[in-house]
A and B are shown apart, each in its own frame.
Chain A
Amino acid sequence: MNSKKKHAVSVIARVIYVIALLVIWECVARSGILGPRSSLIFPSLEQIGEAFIKNFIKGYAGTSLWIYIANSMKLLLTGLVIGILLAFILSGLSMVSFIFFKIYDLTVSVFDLLPGIALLPVVIIIFGVREEVIVFLVVHAVLWPMSRNMLDGFNATPRIYVEAGKNMGLKGAGLIFGVYLPAAASYIVSGLKSGWARAWRGLISAEMIFGIASSPGIGLFINQMRTNMNNAEMYATLLVIIIIGVIVQYGILRPIEVNTVRKWGMTK
């Protein structure tokens, strides 16, 4: 009962917070403190709302925002799947071979620091001017933080789980799948969260810099809106980005967390 009440209060608090932000936005937009061209640079909620609908109906140059979203999501999902699989495989191999672990650990430390955008010239030479470039940048965004978390998680596996596992006859790959992976679950879940956020952000910024007009993505749409000073449409697109992000956060990642590490009492 008490926790139920606590939950209700937290929901109300968050709703009030969001409403307050919107009210502040609207006050700034309507007050005119931004000068005579306020509505151009700081559109009101009504303008943004209209632009939101217009983005989907009219889009840009006859292409609805849906098309842009679909293209982006396709590349994002491809990149995420590849990145997560690679993180599992490479981090798993690191547990089998100590030399491989040292090399991979170094690789992760180095590449995690490099902004994907800075790699663009090299990536273009390797992959050419194709969608694969964006997929590569998404993989780059998700692979390293995910691997870092998994390696940390594997290394933080309590010795007792490993010994208990060995005691029941697990070794090699069996030990990785039977003990290291589930024991690192809370690290993997937080790796998924940060990996997803970085991939989503990495995708948009990659598309803003490297836009393939034949399969246009959300980043390109934002860029077009910015170039044309369609700020209401741009903010509306940012809203779309936030909405998709929140849906993934609460619709996918959260249930994963609740059904694993929370159920298992491995996190508070």
Chain B
Amino acid sequence: MSKEALLQIRDLTKIYTDDSGEKTVLKDLDLDVEKSEFLCILGPSGCGKSTLLRCIAGFEEYSGSVSVDGTQRREPGIDRFMVFQDFNQLFPWKTVINNVAYPLSLNIKAPKAEIKERALEALNKVGLSGCKDQYPHQLSGGMKQRVAIAKALALRSPIILMDEPFAALDAMTRSGLQKEMLSISESEKNTIIFITHNIQEAIILGTRILVFGQQGHILFDEKNPMQRPVTPASEGYGELWEELHHALYEGSLPAKTSK
């Protein structure tokens, strides 16, 4: 483990309590994420990967610690900006540009024009500057997710948390957005933690891939060896896919790659 990782998670334990009793979702989890890493997390439903993201974002109570640049974080903050799966994360009462500019105006002291300009620049990066004066209800699901990403870009959040942001999109839109995400991760310096169900998505986007087991433990954690841009035709794709698939569906690593 490196000494100065951007994001350090130590002994993170999360227990949900409800009428039927207690359920331990995450137990004594340790994780470091380096600067500019694109970490993709795969895992079966209910394995706690979303919970981990919500703990990092500061939406949940937990024991253990989450530190950014060596400082503990418990409350939500713009240094860890969340892009939700739900399309309705934009405020319907604000135009597209204002949805992007609003968090900026809350967090930085700058003239209005400058904030607008920064918001527009971010919208440009996701290809939506033409829709800046529309309201969210006039946009498609994919466009709404791009605006949400633009919010994080405009804020220049060091860590962007993405909780299956493309899961509810159709295949075409999804593939377009993946491409955009790839180019953003290459040109921007943000660290991205990206949760997905989709093995292909993890291979295409991730510089590092994690697989969670059913009990909320880390089953697989490796750098993505593939050269970007990855396509199913890239060398080594099949093997990696097989390996991840086995980890994901069998809950164990294939014998030949076990270390």
Contact = CB atoms under 8 A, between A and B. Distances in A.
Interface in A140-186: 158, 160-161, 163-164, 166-170, 174, 178-179, 182-183, 185
A166 B59 contact: yes
B112 interface: no
A263 B137 CA distance: 9
Nearest to B57: A167
6 contacts: A163-B59, A164-B89, A183-B93, A260-B93, A265-B92, A265-B135
Interface centre among A164, A166, A185 (most CB of B within 10 A): A164
Contacts of A164: 82, 84, 89-91
A167 B93 contact: no
Interface string A174-215: 100011001101000000000000000000000000000000
B257 interface: no
Contact of B89 (A160, A182, A266): A160
Contact of A264 (B78, B84, B135): B135
B88 interface: yes
Contacts of A265: 92, 135-138
Range class of the A interface residue count: 20 to 34
A123 to B, nearest CB: 38
B233 interface: no
B108 to A, nearest CB: 11
Given A183-B93, A264-B135, A265-B135, 18 more contacts: A160-B86, A160-B88, A163-B84, A164-B84, A164-B89, A166-B58, A167-B76, A167-B78, A167-B82, A167-B103, A168-B81, A169-B106, A170-B106, A174-B106, A185-B93, A264-B93, A264-B137, A265-B138
A161 B89 CA distance: 6
Given A169-B106, A169-B107, A170-B106, A160 B93 contact: no
Interface centre among B57, B58, B76, B90 (most CB of A within 10 A): B76
